Amino acid sequence: MKSAAENLSPTRVKLNVEVTLDELKPNIDAAYKSVAEQIQVPGFRKGKVPSRLIDQRVGRGYVLETAINEGLNDWYQQAVAETGIRPLSRPEVEITEVPDPAATEGELKFAVEVDVRPEIELPDYEGLKVDVAAAEVGDDDVQTALDELRGRFGTLKPVDRPAQADDFLTIDISASVEGEEVDSAAGLSYQVGSGTMLEGLDEAVTGLSEGEEAVFETKLAGGEHAGETASVTVKVTAVKERELPEADDDFAQLASEFDTIEELRGDLVKQAAQSKVVAQGVEARDKVLDKLVELVEVPVPESVVTEQVEAHFNPANGGHAADEDHDTDEHRAEVKANTERAFKNEVILDAIADKEEIGVSQGELIEYLVTTASQYGMDPNQFAQIMDQSGQVPMMVGEVRRRKALAAVLGKAEVTDSEGNAVDLSEFVRPLNEEEAPEAAEPQQSEATPSDDPAAATF
């Protein structure tokens, strides 16, 4: 078999493939066997019909067509391997020459057009310069951390006043569409301002006292009436506020390993400082990736963008319902821009991973699986089984590899803060070596890796 790749554009290739009649013969023999199983000829058992009788009954041309159809995918995959292209879309096949069914020599020729991952030229990314916010820890940072800790040990007490931000309410709620009740619930707990239920609920309950109710309109987000406008009645049956414990030595002993509140405050200062440095790492990571995208020209296949955009708005593919408020030109433009950016990120980081000869250890893959499973609230073993059965493990390996590639670039970057001080991020970008990989399935969770960022470095 001969194959050759012809570049039609930076993201589209035409494969010209030639298959000799001798190479086609195993497929022709298999086609005869397949046809023999499908027809009945008096005097012959099923599957034992001679080739000459099959030619008389259905024609040698039909057999040849069957052989070609059965073999096309294998020959295409072989051509992909020989030419080294990386297909991104469904192949478009055109058969240009078919051997004469009665001849003893000849060739099958076909052409395949397919979108491919573009080849890019990487810039010198050694010492990319980025600026981040200074990691200054103020009294407000420590007080915020202390209040959050106190909040974990707070108690709720009823109050006789209208509801306000951060109050905890007990509510009864019902929704109606065109005058017909479609859902209701009683005794729900809700914190004002959390935004975890219906849009417009916070505004409706703010200012209501116990026993009062309000009616507001909203669009339902789920269920069979998703996307429809509903009239919602909410009644407040209790208003409570969180009462925080005093920040004293007793609280320090209750909430921590420390004996005094001053010791606890000192530890919170250290934690706040560490959080600031992690935030610097996240900011530096994002800015390094932005610079890479600015420095590298990455052509994006239109088919990839179109497929992703349509999948986003197609409920059958797990996308959003295409209601008139959601499926807008502005939203489609946003999804398109995000898709193009994600594609560029992937291509650039894959190229860097190739250049840096980055691999993925079993321990790193386990760590990623456990972290991702926790984000979905799933058991890691169950999540791993689902990924394996759906063939998603190679995708996850690529994801980990790209994160390591970005971490490698970040490790070589020159990072300074807003005050001109050099920022050392070596502890956050140090790759996990094979010998350091955890053997147990309980690796530590990454601290600052957004789940929706396909190019996020693992810190």
- pLDDT at residue 228, as a whole number: 87
Based on the domain organization, do 292 and 380 belong to the same domain?
A: yes
Task: Examine residue 74 and state whether it is found in any structural domain, yes or no.
Answer: yes
Based on the domain organization, do 178 and 296 belong to the same domain?
A: no
Based on the domain organization, do 108 and 8 belong to the same domain?
A: yes
Hey, what's the torsion of the CAs at 400, 406, 412, 415, to 10 degrees? -130
Task: Examine residue 459 and state whether it is found in any structural domain, yes or no.
Answer: no
- pLDDT at residue 222, as a whole number: 74
- pLDDT at residue 326, as a whole number: 64
Task: Examine residue 130 and state whether it is found in any structural domain, yes or no.
Answer: no
CATH of the domain at 371: 1.10.3120.10
- pLDDT at residue 435, as a whole number: 38
Reading the block at residue 433, the tokens are 């070596």
- pLDDT at residue 197, as a whole number: 87
Based on the domain organization, do 25 and 107 belong to the same domain?
A: yes
- pLDDT at residue 319, as a whole number: 53
- pLDDT at residue 436, as a whole number: 39
Task: Examine residue 27 and state whether it is found in any structural domain, yes or no.
Answer: yes
Task: Examine residue 435 and state whether it is found in any structural domain, yes or no.
Answer: no
Length of the chain measured in residues? 459
Select from 115, 142, 168 the last residue of a domain. Answer: 115
Task: Examine residue 325 and state whether it is found in any structural domain, yes or no.
Answer: yes
Based on the domain organization, do 360 and 324 belong to the same domain?
A: yes
- pLDDT at residue 451, as a whole number: 36
Task: Give how far the C-alpha of residue 440 lies from the chain's centroid of Cα atoms, to the nearest Å.
Answer: 26
Reading the block at residue 83, the tokens are 């030419």
Domain tally, the chain = 3
CATH of the domain at 81: 3.30.70.1050
Based on the domain organization, do 324 and 398 belong to the same domain?
A: yes
> CA triplet 78, 84, 88: central angle to 5 degrees?
90
Q: How far is CA 457 from CA 255, 365, 411, 432, 447, in A?
A: 33, 14, 11, 12, 11
- In angstroms, the CA 366 to CA 439 distance is 9
CATH of the domain at 190: 3.10.50.40
| Residues spanned by the domain of 238 | 155-243
Please state the pTM of the whole predicted model. Answer: 0.68
Task: Examine residue 453 and state whether it is found in any structural domain, yes or no.
Answer: no
CB 203 within 8 A of CB 216: yes
Based on the domain organization, do 285 and 366 belong to the same domain?
A: yes
Q: What is the pLDDT along the chain (459 residues), one digit of tens a residue?
A: 899 999 999 999 999 999 988 888 898 888 888 887 777 777 676 767 777 777 777 777 888 888 898 899 999 999 999 999 999 888 999 999 888 766 667 889 999 999 999 999 998 999 899 999 988 888 888 999 999 999 899 999 999 999 999 999 999 999 999 889 999 999 999 999 998 888 999 999 999 999 999 999 998 877 788 778 999 999 999 999 999 999 999 999 999 999 999 999 999 999 998 888 888 989 999 999 999 999 999 999 988 888 888 888 875 555 554 444 567 788 889 999 999 999 999 999 999 999 999 999 999 999 999 999 998 889 999 999 999 999 999 999 999 999 999 999 999 999 998 888 898 887 777 654 433 333 333 333 333 333 334 333 322
Select from 58, 86, 115 the last residue of a domain. Answer: 115
Based on the domain organization, do 306 and 351 belong to the same domain?
A: yes
Based on the domain organization, do 351 and 221 belong to the same domain?
A: no
Based on the domain organization, do 193 and 287 belong to the same domain?
A: no
- In angstroms, the CA 348 to CA 288 distance is 12
HEC profile of the chain: CEEEEEEEECCEEEEEEEEEHHHHHHHHHHHHHHHHCCCCCCCCCCCCCCHHHHHHHCCHHHHHHHHHHHHHHHHHHHHHHHHCCCECCCCEEEEEECCCCCCCCCEEEEEEEEEECCCCCCCCCCCCEEEECCCCCCHHHHHHHHHHHHHHCCEEEECCCCCCCCCEEEEEEEEEECCEEEEEEEEEEEECCCCCCCCCHHHHHCCCCCCCEEEEEEECCCCCCCCCEEEEEEEEEEEEEEECCCCCHHHHHHHCCCCCHHHHHHHHHHHHHHHHHHHHHHHHHHHHHHHHHHHCCCCCCHHHHHHHHHHHHCHHHCCCCCCCCCCCHHHHHHHHHHHHHHHHHHHHHHHHHHHCCCCCCHHHHHHHHHHHHHHCCCCHHHHHHHHHHCCCHHHHHHHHHHHHHHHHHHHHCEEEECCCCECCCHHHHCCCCHHHCCCCCCCCCCCCCCCCCCCCCCC
- In angstroms, the CA 186 to CA 170 distance is 8
- pLDDT at residue 442, as a whole number: 34
Based on the domain organization, do 303 and 352 belong to the same domain?
A: yes
- pLDDT at residue 450, as a whole number: 34
Based on the domain organization, do 217 and 289 belong to the same domain?
A: no
Residue 321: CB partners within 8 Å, gap ≥ 6? 226, 227, 315
Task: Examine residue 252 and state whether it is found in any structural domain, yes or no.
Answer: no
